[in-house]
Every structure is written in C-alpha cells, then in structure tokens.
C-alpha cells in the first residue's frame, strides 16, 4: 500500500523525478508483478527509465506504464501530472486552471486549462454504483456567467441553470451525492435524473413538487413543505447546494454554462472522496479507468 504524500516536501521526496513517477505507476499497474497483456508471461525487460516501457521477454510486446491512464500520450512530464493530481486531490476546494497554471509554472494558461480538463474527465467513473437507501432529492438554480473560454476572472453577465441534486442519508450523516444539470423541473427531467442517479428500490424524499409524482422503481416520500422552510425538511441536499454555490463562486468566480456539468462532477468527486484523498489521487491519474485518449476537441465539446 503506497501512502499518499501529506505535504509538499513529502511529495518532493516521494516523487523526485520522472523515474520515481514511472516506478509508482508500474507498481500500481502490476501490484503482483508484471503480467504480459498479450501472452500472460511474467518476465519483462525495462526500456527507458523516464517514460517506462516494458517489453515482454517471451513475445516482445511493448507495454507503456501510462497506457490506459489519463497521462497517456501527453507531452507534459509525468511529474507535472502527478503534482497536478496531488494538488487537485488534496486541496480542499480544488483549483482553477489559473491557480494550477501559476502553481505548476506551466508555459501557458491554456496547457493548465487542458490539463485540468483531463483530470476532471477522470473524475467520473462510468461504472459507479447509483445512490441507494434513503435519498434526499431536490432541485435548485445555479447562476452562471457568460463569456468564452478559457477566460480569466472578471465581471460578465449571465443567467441561471437548473440543477438536480441527490444525497444519500446514512443514519444522521450524508453518504454519497449526485448533481446534474436539468433542462426543466418537469416529471420527465426529474424522473430521468432519479432513474440515472438512484438505484431501484431506494426511498426518495422530496419536497412534494409534482415533478416527483410519477417516479418509477423507487419509493417516494413526498414531504409537503408548506409553511416549513425547505432546508428543515431536506437538510442535506440543501447544504450540498449551498456548498456547491459557494465553491463555484470562490474557486471559479462563477461557472460557465458550457462546462457546468463538468464542474458539478468535480464537486461530487470531491464530496464523495472527502475522506479518501489517496483514492482521489489514483482516480485523477486515471488509474483503474479505461478511458479513450481525450482529444482537445472532445474536451471542449459542448454536447
């Protein structure tokens, strides 16, 4: 079990150079020793110390330690990736591309922005388990600012986007959360959110909004808010919304609509791994994920 560095000096000692990063990836990838993906042989030769590539001693297949990770094909040093992932994983509120640019001393703001986009892309596990048990669900609106990207902080006019949220309740504490941009508060939109985020058989607690009336596959406990302030009936989902809004303002000086879902995904990622930064670090490097290499066009896509 490799411990995650707890401070910058510890990070420097643990990952002093490219070879140390490559070695760490090697151990993560084959914790029980090398196994050739082509022929299953367990002996390999090491080619190159920095971008470690292994060559199977039997079939001569070459395997890069970065294959299948978020780092693959990047021109940036491994150490830059590791430091970026460590900063993003351990920093309580995360980082804007501008902060990352300054911290890493990268040549351009744009390369920091692209690096951060790739790290964010690794934040959503396509095979994550839906929320289950008792789940609070509600919707809110998030203000956004207009303007192209990449953009620095500054004043601009914007509007509001609707966001649905769900929080697992484990005893008296919140478990995992989900946040998603929704087009409207109709039964169709809210039903789709619940179906994607919450396992069948769960119990959904809502404020009794008609949009939740026709939920399928889950038990619904509408709590008619009436005179009672909504934050008393649905305390956790309201706290999550409030934190997400404060975070958006504090770290990003407001969110841009084109990437709102990516920002929400980052917030959810942080919240769900708030007690396991080492798991966050692994995931940010794309370990345990089978991602297609992301192109610039995919990352800036507005779909």
Residues in contact with Zn ion by the rule CB under 5 A: 36, 38-39, 41, 56, 58-59, 61
Closer residue to Zn ion, CB minimum distance, 36 or 119: 36
149, 109 Cβ separation under 8 angstroms? no
For residue 138, how far is the Cα from the chain centroid?
Answer: 21
Q: DSSP secondary-structure letter at 131?
A: B
Q: How far is the CB of 57 from Zn ion (least distance, A)?
A: 8
Closer residue to Zn ion, CB minimum distance, 41 or 91: 41
Closer residue to Zn ion, CB minimum distance, 64 or 272: 64
61, 112 Cβ separation under 8 angstroms? no
Q: Please name every residue paired with 178 in a beta bridge, in sequence order, or none if there are none.
A: 166
Q: How far is the CB of 1 from Zn ion (least distance, A)?
A: 28
* 53-56 β-sheet, strand order: 44-47, 53-56, 62-64
| CA–CA distance, 121 with 299 (Å, rounded to integer) | 8
Closer residue to Zn ion, CB minimum distance, 34 or 209: 34
Q: How far is the CB of 43 from Zn ion (least distance, A)?
A: 9
Q: How far is the CB of 39 from Zn ion (least distance, A)?
A: 3
| CA–CA distance, 205 with 168 (Å, rounded to integer) | 10
Closer residue to Zn ion, CB minimum distance, 32 or 227: 32
Closer residue to Zn ion, CB minimum distance, 44 or 119: 44
Q: How far is the CB of 44 from Zn ion (least distance, A)?
A: 8
Q: How far is the CB of 42 from Zn ion (least distance, A)?
A: 9
Q: Please name every residue paired with 92 in a beta bridge, in sequence order, or none if there are none.
A: none
| CA–CA distance, 277 with 63 (Å, rounded to integer) | 28
Secondary structure (3-state) at 256: coil
Q: Rounded to a whole number, what is the largest CA-CA distance in the chain?
A: 74
């Amino acid at each position: 079990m490799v411990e995650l560095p707890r401070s910058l000096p510890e990070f420097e000692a643990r990952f002093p150079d490219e070879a140390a990063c490559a070695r760490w990836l090697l151990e993560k990838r084959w914790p029980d020793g090398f196994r050739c993906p082509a022929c299953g042989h367990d002996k390999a030769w090491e080619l190159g110390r920095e971008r470690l590539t292994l060559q199977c001693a039997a079939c001569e297949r070459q395997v890069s330690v970065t294959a299948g990770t978020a780092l693959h094909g990047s021109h940036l040093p491994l150490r830059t990736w590791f430091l970026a992932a460590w900063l993003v994983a351990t920093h309580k509120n995360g980082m804007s591309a501008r902060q990352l640019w300054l911290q890493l001393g990268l040549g351009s703001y744009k390369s920091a922005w692209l690096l951060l986009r790739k790290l964010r892309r690794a934040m959503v596990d396509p095979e994550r388990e839906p929320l289950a048990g008792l789940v609070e669900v509600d919707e809110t609106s998030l203000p956004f600012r207009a303007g192209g990207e990449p953009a620095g902080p500054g004043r601009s006019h914007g509007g509001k986007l609707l966001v649905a949220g769900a929080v697992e309740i484990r005893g008296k504490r919140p478990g995992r959360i989900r946040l998603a941009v929704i087009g409207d508060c109709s039964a169709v939109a809210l039903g789709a959110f619940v179906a994607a985020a919450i396992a069948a058989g769960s119990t959904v607690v809502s404020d009794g909004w008609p949009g939740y009336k026709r939920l399928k596959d889950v038990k619904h406990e509408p709590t008619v808010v009436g005179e009672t302030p909504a934050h008393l009936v649905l305390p956790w989902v309201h706290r999550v919304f409030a934190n997400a809004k404060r975070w958006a303002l504090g770290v990003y000086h407001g969110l841009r609509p084109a990437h709102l879902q990516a920002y929400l995904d980052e917030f959810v990622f942080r919240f769900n791994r708030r007690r396991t930064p080492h798991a966050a670090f692994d995931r940010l490097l794309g370990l345990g994920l089978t991602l297609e290499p992301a192109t610039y066009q995919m990352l800036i896509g507005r779909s």
